[in-house]
Amino acid sequence: MIETERLVLRPPVEADHPALYAMWADPVVMADLGPVKDATASAAALARHDGYRREGLGFLSVVRKEDDAVIGFCGLKRGDAQNPIAGQVEAGWMLGRAYWRRGYALEAMRAVLSWGWANLDVPHIVAITSQRNAASRAMMERLGMAYVAGGDFEHHAFAADDPLRHIVTYRITRPVSAA
């Protein structure tokens, strides 16, 4: 569990599923991330993230302290073996639409990165998104990540004509104080 001023980040529990499933089923939330997911696909996504926990990684439910609302999903995982970031620690996040533009994602991900530096012996952490996802790219920059020249690639999970196929990579290097 990770705690911030306004949030608790913890492994998902069954009571979180309706909020997480609703987020994955929202076409606005998923517009730059991939296809919407039904309950079966959402359950499969959660199961994949449970697999990362064997390494001490995995995404967490983002819970707002003031009302215990499950507002998102964020954390660290291993980069997909079929992409150039294979094996690297990858950061990711998503929030329900009602919680955008309130600083929650930035607060959560700063805490996740701090946890990563304290608990993982890695030189850097990466994040990827579709080239067109300006909001995520701006967030990566606010987190201190820099665009990786030569890190663009075509994501295998998207059709050749899907604009989400064009992926960019950002990276943050371990701070000297975290070494």
**CA atoms of 155 and 142, how far apart (whole Å):** 24
Domains annotated on the chain, with CATH: 2-178 (3.40.630.30)
Share of the chain above pLDDT 90, in %: 74
φ, ψ (nearest 5 deg) of residue 60: -125, 150
61, 20 in Cβ contact below 8 A? yes
- Whole-model pTM? 0.92
Render pLDDT for 37-55 as a digit per residue (tens, 0 to 9): 888 888 888 887 777 887 8
How much is the average pLDDT of 139-168?
93
* 169 Cβ neighbours under 8 A, 6+ residues apart: 84, 85, 126, 127, 128, 147, 148, 151, 152, 153
The gap between the terminal CA atoms of the chain, to the nearest Å, is: 22
For every residue of 50-64, DSSP letters joined together read HHHGGGT-EEEEEEE
